[in-house]
Amino acid sequence: MTALTLSRALNEGLRKALESDPKVLILGEDVGKLGGVFRVTDGLQKDFGEARVIDTPLAESGIVGTAIGLALRGYRPVCEIQFDGFVYPAFDQIVSQLAKMRLRSLGNVSLPVVIRIPFGGGIGAVEHHSESPEALFAHTPGLRVVACGDPADAYVMVQQSIRCDDPVIFFEPKRRYWDRAEVDIAGGLAASIPLDKARTLVSGTDVTVLAYGPMVRTCAEAAVAAAADGRSLEVIDLRSLAPLDTEAIFASVRRTGRCVVVHEAAISGGIGAEIAARVTEECFYHLEAPVLRVCGYSTPYPPSRLEEHYLPDLDRVLDGVDRTFGY
Amino acid sequence: MAVNAKGAVAAVPDPLGLDGRAGSAVPIQLLTPEGERVEHPDYPLEVSAAEVQALYRDLVLVRRIDFEAIALQRQGELGIWASLLGQEAAQVGSARALGPGDMAFPTYREHGVAWCRGLDPVKLLELFRGVSHGGWDPKAHGLHLYTIVIGCQALHATGYAMGIQRDGAVGEDGEAAIAYFGDGATSQGDVNEAFIWASVTNAPVVFFCQNNQWAISEPLERQSRVPLYQRAYGFGFPGIRVDGNDVLACLAVTRKAMQAAREGQGPTLIEAFTYRMGAHTTTDDPTRYRLAAELESWKLKDPIERVKAYLVRSRLADMEFFERVDAEADEMGARVRKSCLEMPDPAPLAIFENVYAEPNALIDSEREQFAAYLDSFTGEEVAR
């Protein structure tokens, strides 16, 4: 085991993928010499060459569109979109082309393309650098959408995503890039949790708290605080947002009878809404309270001096937990 | 249109001050509308009588596919059809310049390209009938799926070409990609991004733009103030304008551009100057936005008539040949009609097929629910 930051863990995961499959390519803006603005691809171009770690022109549709072409030729491209708010120029290529090619070809074509997107706020950034657009992609059939929450999982999940024959939108919690934790970079992936499975981070009995990406740590911390108040939170890291691991969610909610979903993304039409609907359908007689959501507001992301009010934090999570006991 | 392209080159002004690098606004031509064979110093083309006959056959059969499909749409058998009438030479000429290792990236109007790549025309009807979204294997035909969103495929072709480079398949026996698109698509960001990518990576890709003068109802002047082939120079690669109704010129120009790409000389933009003789699709009414006189003038430049005239005048084919081709077209037309009428709808549960390559719990559970719902009906109701 080695202590690595989340950024470094992703780097090691990408390195493993590049080493084990010559068809794996990395492309994006500034991913070469600079190593990416978050240094996730640091040193990879030096070690694997400019043909495999490609500094692209500055055009996101072009990055995804050419990645599709490379995949059609048998490659497994990993695209880096520099920031969440910059993915929209590529939206058409992702939604109309990448997601649909398999169906369009009746299964003759697979597009094993990974699109890595640093997402979420909390870093004091200017506009367009703190967004959480995951629901837009989770709503798009044909895509898999995942989010990693800590260094160990980041290392595993990025490799699993690259091996996946379906297109994967891979969200990275940018404010957690510098979180450090033990990562087993010697071990293989065989014993790892599958890419489409959730993981119980903290076991508990009173409330199921569902989170992903940057909110995983926040909710784990909330569980510690709640325990001090005598409340037992079960914190589940969803990992996969499309498809959702509904089996794990339902099993937990049936035990606890309460469910709070936490995400930074705007509450309306978000992942939490989807979960609330499904939990209501499948766990109706087990519920002691409606499914509650602790999320970003239905507003554009605010200027950074206000972001601490917009983003769910430990107190807002605990407030949500409290409210589920008010029914 | 000038007969002698060589003579015309010198006479063309150079509005952009490109010092001759911008090629010629007079399209490259090897066969006049009257069916007279002319030479061009940059595009010598040796074709045997049999080869010209084969091209003529392609043109006639492709037009027949189009004709049958329009009729099938009018009879309610197809949801829609995008006619290629008038663009047969651009498509057949360019597609016959491709080798088995090359990959073509078509739009939804490239029925002539599909024909030349060996795709059964019935597969095309599947798409326009609503039975599939295409469904053929691109690798088996060197023909990617039809792309409906305008311009997306230019980037796919460029990425594919970058893959060719990484496979080391550039050189004398190299491979190349060709992206087809229309004049309207040149306004799309994706096409412009593809030009940039192809240029800076020197990718083995040819951009084949069929300038048919109309993007549904919008004339070319809504898309560009400069001739389209000149766009290439701003991106750093050559642009060539070819007579898109001249199958021999399209063959020669595409052949040269593809070979240059295969050998590592990078991309070329070919503007095939042609005309969309029909409606944009069967849902369109071009009488609302263009003059009949324009159509009439282009009828005189018909891509098939000039080949026929050439074959007859030069005694390269006899009447029996033309009768044979017509008979084959009749036969194929009948087969296409019959296959379309007999084409079954997919089974309802096919909705859930081919969404993901790997097992997907969400799709599985919805399939199960829908199957149970279907089973709740009895007998005949769900049989169709």
Q: Are B196 and A59 an interchain contact pair (Cβ–Cβ within 8 Å)?
A: yes
Q: Are strands B177-182 and B205-211 parallel, antiparallel or unpaired?
A: parallel
Q: Is the model's pLDDT at B12 over the cut of 90?
A: no
**Cα separation of A283 and A273, whole Å?**
15
Question: How many domains is chain A partitioned into structurally?
Answer: 2
Residue A271 lies in a domain: yes
Task: Kindly report the CATH number assigned to the domain that includes residue A95.
Answer: 3.40.50.970
Are A15 and A8 contacting, i.e. CB atoms less than 8 angstroms apart?
A: no
Among the candidates A183, A211, A238, a domain finishes at A183
* Count of CB atoms situated within 10 Å of the CB of A203: 13
Of B159, B200, B356, the CB nearest to A57: B200
Residue A300 lies in a domain: yes
Task: Kindly report the CATH number assigned to the domain that includes residue A244.
Answer: 3.40.50.920
On whether both A318 and A279 belong to a single domain, the answer is yes
Residue B233 pLDDT grade (very low, low, confident, very high; cuts 50, 70, 90): very high
Of B138, B157, B162, the CB nearest to A109: B138
Give the ipTM.
0.96
In the set A129, A139, A263, A309, the catalytic residue is: A129
Residue A191 lies in a domain: no
On whether both A151 and A272 belong to a single domain, the answer is no
**Cα separation of B219 and B229, whole Å?**
16
**Cα separation of A319 and B1, whole Å?**
77
- Tens digit of pLDDT for each residue in B135-190? 999 999 999 999 999 999 999 999 999 999 999 999 999 999 999 999 999 999 99
Instruction: Measure A282 CA to nearest chain B CA, in Å.
Output: 13
Of B145, B152, B200, the CB nearest to A96: B152
On whether both A179 and A203 belong to a single domain, the answer is no
Domain around A299: 199-324
pLDDT at A264: 98
pLDDT at A211: 98
C-alpha distances (whole Å) from B280 to each of A158, B86, B132, B276, B306 are 45, 12, 21, 8, 24
Structural tokens at position A226: 């709640």
Are A287 and A257 contacting, i.e. CB atoms less than 8 angstroms apart?
A: yes
On whether both A88 and A218 belong to a single domain, the answer is no
**Cα separation of A117 and A129, whole Å?**
11
Contacts of B265 (CB under 8 A, 6+ apart): B202
Q: Are B163 and A70 an interchain contact pair (Cβ–Cβ within 8 Å)?
A: yes
- Give SS3 for A26: strand
Query: Is the Cβ of A144 closer than 8 Å to some Cβ of chain B?
Result: yes
pLDDT at B281: 96
Q: In chain A, whose CA is at the least distance from the CA of B156? A: A69
Residue B5 pLDDT grade (very low, low, confident, very high; cuts 50, 70, 90): very low
On whether both A129 and A258 belong to a single domain, the answer is no
On whether both A150 and A213 belong to a single domain, the answer is no
Which residues in chain B have their CB less than 8 angstroms from residue A144's CB? 356
Residue A210 lies in a domain: yes
Residue A1 pLDDT grade (very low, low, confident, very high; cuts 50, 70, 90): confident
pLDDT at B260: 97
Q: Are A164 and B358 an interchain contact pair (Cβ–Cβ within 8 Å)?
A: yes
Q: Is the model's pLDDT at A236 over the cut of 90?
A: yes
Query: Is the Cβ of A139 closer than 8 Å to some Cβ of chain B?
Result: no
Q: Is the model's pLDDT at B21 over the cut of 70?
A: no
**Cα separation of A282 and B28, whole Å?**
68
Structural tokens at position B245: 């109704």
Q: Is the model's pLDDT at A271 over the cut of 60?
A: yes
* Spatial CA neighbour of A270 closest among A88, A92, A133: A133
Query: Is the Cβ of A250 closer than 8 Å to some Cβ of chain B?
Result: no
Q: Is the model's pLDDT at A165 over the cut of 90?
A: yes
- Tens digit of pLDDT for each residue in A173-199? 999 999 999 999 988 898 899 999 999
Mean pLDDT of A16-45: 98
Q: Are B158 and A65 an interchain contact pair (Cβ–Cβ within 8 Å)?
A: yes
**Cα separation of A56 and A90, whole Å?**
14
User: In degrees rounded to 5, what are phi and psi of residue B375?
Assistant: -65, -20
What mean pLDDT, rounded, does chain A reach? 97
Mean pLDDT of A130-142: 98
Q: Express the helix, strand and coil content of chain B in percent, nearest 5 each.
A: 50, 10, 40
pLDDT at B381: 57
Instruction: Express as a percent the part of chain A with pLDDT over 90.
Output: 98
Q: In chain B, whose CA is at the least distance from the CA of A102? A: B354
Q: Is B168 exposed, middle or buried (0-12, 13-18, 19+ CB in 10 A)?
A: exposed
Q: Is the model's pLDDT at A39 over the cut of 80?
A: yes
Q: Among A154-168, A243-257, B9-23, B157-171, which is the least confidently predicted range?
A: B9-23
* Residues in A 288-317 with any Cβ partner in B closer than 8 A: none
**Cα separation of B119 and B136, whole Å?**
8
Helix A60-72 and helix B152-166, axial crossing angle in degrees, nearest 10: 60
pLDDT at B383: 52
Q: Are B189 and A103 an interchain contact pair (Cβ–Cβ within 8 Å)?
A: no
- Give SS3 for A111: coil
Query: Is the Cβ of A70 closer than 8 Å to some Cβ of chain B?
Result: yes
Among the candidates A127, A148, A183, a domain finishes at A183
Are B332 and B60 contacting, i.e. CB atoms less than 8 angstroms apart?
A: no
Q: CA angle A110-A115-A120, nearest 5°?
A: 145
* Residues in A 153-172 with any Cβ partner in B closer than 8 A: 164-166
Query: Is the Cβ of A65 closer than 8 Å to some Cβ of chain B?
Result: yes
Number of alpha carbons in the 13 Å side-chain half-sphere of residue A237? 24
What mean pLDDT, rounded, does chain B reach? 93
Of A105, A109, A196, the CB nearest to B361: A196
Q: In chain B, whose CA is at the least distance from the CA of A65? A: B155
Of A51, A68, A166, the CB nearest to B159: A68
Which residues in chain B have their CB less than 8 angstroms from residue A139's CB? none
Task: Report the residue of B356, B362, B363, B367 to disrupt the A interface, i.e. the one with the largest count of A CBs within 10 Å.
Answer: B356
Q: Is the model's pLDDT at A202 over the cut of 50?
A: yes
pLDDT at B19: 46
Among the candidates A183, A211, A241, a domain finishes at A183
- Tens digit of pLDDT for each residue in A72-88? 999 999 999 999 999 99
Q: Which residue reads 């798409």 in tokens?
A: B127
pLDDT at A187: 81
Query: What's the per-residue H, E or C state across A142-188?
Result: CCEEEECCCHHHHHHHHHHHHHCCCCEEEEEEHHHCCCEEEECCCCC
Which residues in chain A have their CB less than 8 angstroms from residue B147's CB? 97
Residue A235 lies in a domain: yes
pLDDT at B378: 74
Residue A259 lies in a domain: yes
User: In degrees rounded to 5, what are phi and psi of residue B220?
Assistant: -55, -35
- Tens digit of pLDDT for each residue in B288-320? 999 999 999 999 999 999 999 999 999 999 999
Distance in Å from the first CA to the final CA of chain B:
55
On whether both A115 and A241 belong to a single domain, the answer is no
Which residues in chain B have their CB less than 8 angstroms from residue A107's CB? 353-354, 357
* Spatial CA neighbour of A256 closest among A221, A298, A215, A210: A210
On whether both A172 and A111 belong to a single domain, the answer is yes
Query: What's the per-residue H, E or C state across A270-305?
Result: CHHHHHHHHHHHHHHHHCCCCCEEEEECCCCCCCHH
On whether both A134 and A236 belong to a single domain, the answer is no
Structural tokens at position A107: 């299964």
- Give SS3 for B298: helix
Q: Could you tell me how many CB contacts below 8 A there are between chain A and chain B?
A: 152
Q: Are A97 and B164 an interchain contact pair (Cβ–Cβ within 8 Å)?
A: no
On whether both A41 and A134 belong to a single domain, the answer is yes
Residue A194 lies in a domain: no
More confident residue, A188 or B261: B261
Which residues in chain A have their CB less than 8 angstroms from residue B102's CB? none
Please report the beta strands in chain B, taking only residues with DSSP state E, as ranges in sequence order: 103-105, 177-182, 205-211, 214-215, 218-219, 239-243, 268-273
Which residues in chain A have their CB less than 8 angstroms from residue B159's CB? 65-73
Query: Is the Cβ of A103 closer than 8 Å to some Cβ of chain B?
Result: yes
Distance in Å from the first CA to the final CA of chain A:
45
On whether both A271 and A140 belong to a single domain, the answer is no
Query: Is the Cβ of A75 closer than 8 Å to some Cβ of chain B?
Result: yes
C-alpha distances (whole Å) from A83 to each of A120, A263, A267, A277, B268 are 9, 18, 21, 30, 33
Residue A130 lies in a domain: yes
Task: Report the residue of A66, A166, A169, A244 to disrupt the B interface, i.e. the one with the largest count of B CBs within 10 Å.
Answer: A66
Query: Is the Cβ of A197 closer than 8 Å to some Cβ of chain B?
Result: no
Q: Which residue reads 């003579």 in tokens?
A: B7
Of B137, B177, B189, the CB nearest to A108: B137
Instruction: Measure B371 CA to nearest chain A CA, in Å.
Output: 19
Q: Are A166 and B356 an interchain contact pair (Cβ–Cβ within 8 Å)?
A: yes
Mean pLDDT of B332-358: 97
Mean pLDDT of B93-119: 98
Of A92, A106, A243, the CB nearest to B354: A106
Which residues in chain A have their CB less than 8 angstroms from residue B191's CB? none
Mean pLDDT of A271-288: 98
Q: Are B158 and A25 an interchain contact pair (Cβ–Cβ within 8 Å)?
A: no
Q: In chain A, whose CA is at the least distance from the CA of B153? A: A65
Please report the beta strands in chain A, taking only residues with DSSP state E, as ranges in sequence order: 2-5, 24-28, 53-55, 76-80, 114-119, 144-147, 168-173, 180-183, 199-202, 207-211, 233-237, 240-242, 259-266, 292-296
User: In degrees rounded to 5, what are phi and psi of residue B19?
Assistant: 60, 40
On whether both A168 and A258 belong to a single domain, the answer is no
Residue B22 pLDDT grade (very low, low, confident, very high; cuts 50, 70, 90): low
- Give SS3 for A234: strand
